[in-house]
Chain A
């Protein structure tokens, strides 16, 4: 048994024999041609045939893996018709008297290398596409037909890096997962694996290419771990886990409408993060006791004009009505320089996450902001609604935002529009400054909701999506946990309730810590609710307090993670 590590590129786990996929070496000779015109004709015919093939493959991919996968082959067709590429090949044949194979490969390599030299991973990944297209034409020139990859039993495909043309000719019904030596999280293999819903581990290094065909593998697409030749106990545990996982999920679903009360009798609220009307419905069926984060951006994006008050009112009312008497925390619009609004010039910022976004932009655009506030107030009539301001850094910002809320009320009164009277006002705690100053904020808010994703990225000065610093950006880092502890403690001292709407709230490992710290409300993606409720029911606050105390005193995320993993065993 041997454990190897790569990059988890598509979640899930699988166990099965390896299928070593080797790209055939098409080996061709370079030579001088006597009749360049005839050679060019040969090339043109190959281009045409490749184009026809790609049209058929496009249809196949469309059926098997959907439109985004099929689009890859549309791009391949464009590459074959590329006037610059064709020009280079033509010149090389007609002027340089090179044979078609050499002319084609030289031109394709020229572009592939240029793409590989670019900084952005998205562009670098396109080099694979260029080579894939060249390979297709080369086969046609050499008269070597493309053969289907036949899997005669369910297998895990192992290879260097798979091209779109490789994967499209694989039998998906026998495919358990992918494991590749090269490639990153945005490589073709990763994208395809996600579309098909199978696990993938990429960037393993050349060591995976030395694996024997048929050797048993166990791959985990979340952790990026693969186990070669797992022993009997490991396999048995895996099979057992998958089975019990299914049974557990079914059992948890049955109890989902029951409240989440710890063994020693403390009840906490488990609510949902929601970003659409459909989510709001799903949340109810999965046992959400309300909404802990209603994102409102969906109303604003992809349109030419700002949504007006009536339009917003209609959508909010629909969602509030679905929730009935359950509480709903609605967050005012949170956009900035990383998104586009056709009707407000957000400008291009070098650092949009530290820029003019969310409440900062709203406070500078009172009419725009108050339109949303009026719509919320009107829809709140007869419901338990809590308004939450995002990206708050100073107490003064809350005071200003509250002033606009008061103005919105007056405007509605003047207009004779009825609106909800008893509305709580709170802030999202996602900027470290707000966490540190929590004792001052309690005087101007009714609640805190901790946004752990941004709080982590701002505390650690590291973004999760940047692979090189991703190890720094973990919400279980003691520095982040200490801020969370402080917010909860100061909140309670000041008489305000404290919730959490970041990913950490739905993380089973973290729930004991959060219970121990006294978190009142856990808000998460609806699908995570059944399990989170079960974890809470299995916990006792006294024990959790000990866990929380312990982790706050640890040095690193790794120490915390190792300790929590041990607790779960």
Chain B
């Protein structure tokens, strides 16, 4: 099992477009991926659960992955956050 934490950098947070991109990326991996925000947990491959986390700008989230490609999955999601979900500011 692998886990990382990062700060959401998108101005409007993990909603709409960014959440959509995030879920699409997570769905590429076989591992079970969980997003944790405070006491809430969400399936990273479910757009609805990710949205209900209400993770806006500056939120610290943790991502836990379990499975054969866990490390790669975390790396990919981290990169996505760094690149601001492919959006301009």
Contacts A75-B47, A78-B23, A84-B49: A302 and B88 contacting too (C-beta < 8 A)? yes
Please give, as numbers and ranges, the residues of chain B lying within 8 Å of A350 by CB-CB distance: 58
Determine whether the beta carbon of A122 is less than 8 Å from that of B89: no
Determine whether the beta carbon of A130 is less than 8 Å from that of B16: no
Instruction: Count chain A CB atoms within 10 A of each CB in B9, B56, B89 and give the residue with the most.
Output: B89
Please give, as numbers and ranges, the residues of chain A lying within 8 Å of B54 by CB-CB distance: 118-120, 123
Determine whether the beta carbon of B48 is less than 8 Å from that of A123: no
Residue ranges of A at the interface with B (Cβ–Cβ < 8 Å) = 71-72, 74-75, 78-79, 82-85, 111, 114-115, 118-120, 122-123, 126, 130, 301-302, 338-340, 342, 348, 350
Determine whether the beta carbon of A118 is less than 8 Å from that of B48: no
Determine whether the beta carbon of B47 is less than 8 Å from that of A301: no
- Interface contact tally, CB-CB below 8 A: 70
Interface size classification for chain B:
20 to 34
Nearest CB of A to B67, in Å? 15
Question: Within B14-41, which residues are at the interface with A (CB < 8 Å)?
Answer: 15-17, 19-20, 23-24
Determine whether the beta carbon of A84 is less than 8 Å from that of B46: yes
Please give, as numbers and ranges, the residues of chain A lying within 8 Å of B62 by CB-CB distance: none
Determine whether the beta carbon of A301 is less than 8 Å from that of B89: yes
Closest 3 interchain pairs by CB? A84-B46, A118-B54, A78-B47
Determine if B45 is an interface residue (Cβ-Cβ < 8 Å): yes
Determine whether the beta carbon of B89 is less than 8 Å from that of A115: no
Find B45's partner among A72, A83, A120, A342 (CB 8 Å cutoff).
A83
Find A348's partner among B46, B47, B58 (CB 8 Å cutoff).
B58
Determine if B61 is an interface residue (Cβ-Cβ < 8 Å): no
Determine whether the beta carbon of A340 is less than 8 Å from that of B89: yes
**Extra 5 A-B pairs, beta carbons < 8 Å, given A72-B16, A114-B52:** A83-B46, A115-B51, A122-B56, A123-B54, A339-B89
Q: Could you list some 27 contacts between A and B, CB below 8 A?
A: A71-B20, A75-B17, A75-B19, A78-B20, A78-B23, A78-B47, A79-B47, A82-B46, A84-B43, A84-B46, A85-B46, A111-B51, A111-B52, A114-B52, A115-B52, A118-B52, A118-B54, A119-B54, A120-B54, A120-B56, A123-B51, A302-B88, A302-B89, A340-B9, A340-B89, A342-B82, A350-B58
A119 CA / B46 CA spacing, docked (Å): 21
Q: Mark B69-89, 1 if CB is under 8 A from A, else 0.
A: 000000000000010100011
Determine whether the beta carbon of B88 is less than 8 Å from that of A122: no
Nearest CB of B to A306, in Å? 15
Please give, as numbers and ranges, the residues of chain B lying within 8 Å of A130 by CB-CB distance: 48
Nearest CB of B to A426, in Å? 27
A126 CA / B58 CA spacing, docked (Å): 20
Determine whether the beta carbon of B15 is less than 8 Å from that of A83: no
Nearest CB of B to A111, in Å? 5
Find B47's partner among A82, A123, A340 (CB 8 Å cutoff).
A82
Please give, as numbers and ranges, the residues of chain A lying within 8 Å of B43 by CB-CB distance: 83-84
Please give, as numbers and ranges, the residues of chain B lying within 8 Å of A111 by CB-CB distance: 48, 51-52
Nearest CB of B to A295, in Å? 13
Nearest CB of B to A275, in Å? 13
Find B48's partner among A82, A119, A338 (CB 8 Å cutoff).
A82
A338 CA / B12 CA spacing, docked (Å): 11
A489 CA / B65 CA spacing, docked (Å): 63
Please give, as numbers and ranges, the residues of chain A lying within 8 Å of B89 by CB-CB distance: 301-302, 339-340
Chain B residue with the shortest CB-CB distance to A342: B82
Nearest CB of A to B10, in Å? 9
Instruction: Count chain B CB atoms within 10 A of each CB in A71, A83, A123, A340 and give the residue with the most.
Output: A123
A301 CA / B43 CA spacing, docked (Å): 32
Please give, as numbers and ranges, the residues of chain A lying within 8 Å of B20 by CB-CB distance: 71, 74-75, 78
Nearest CB of B to A239, in Å? 39
Determine whether the beta carbon of B24 is less than 8 Å from that of A122: no
A301 CA / B9 CA spacing, docked (Å): 13
Find A340's partner among B19, B45, B84 (CB 8 Å cutoff).
B84
Nearest CB of B to A418, in Å? 35
A75 CA / B20 CA spacing, docked (Å): 6
Please give, as numbers and ranges, the residues of chain B lying within 8 Å of A114 by CB-CB distance: 52
Nearest CB of A to B54, in Å? 4
A78 CA / B23 CA spacing, docked (Å): 9
Nearest CB of B to A381, in Å? 32
A405 CA / B69 CA spacing, docked (Å): 52
A120 CA / B56 CA spacing, docked (Å): 8
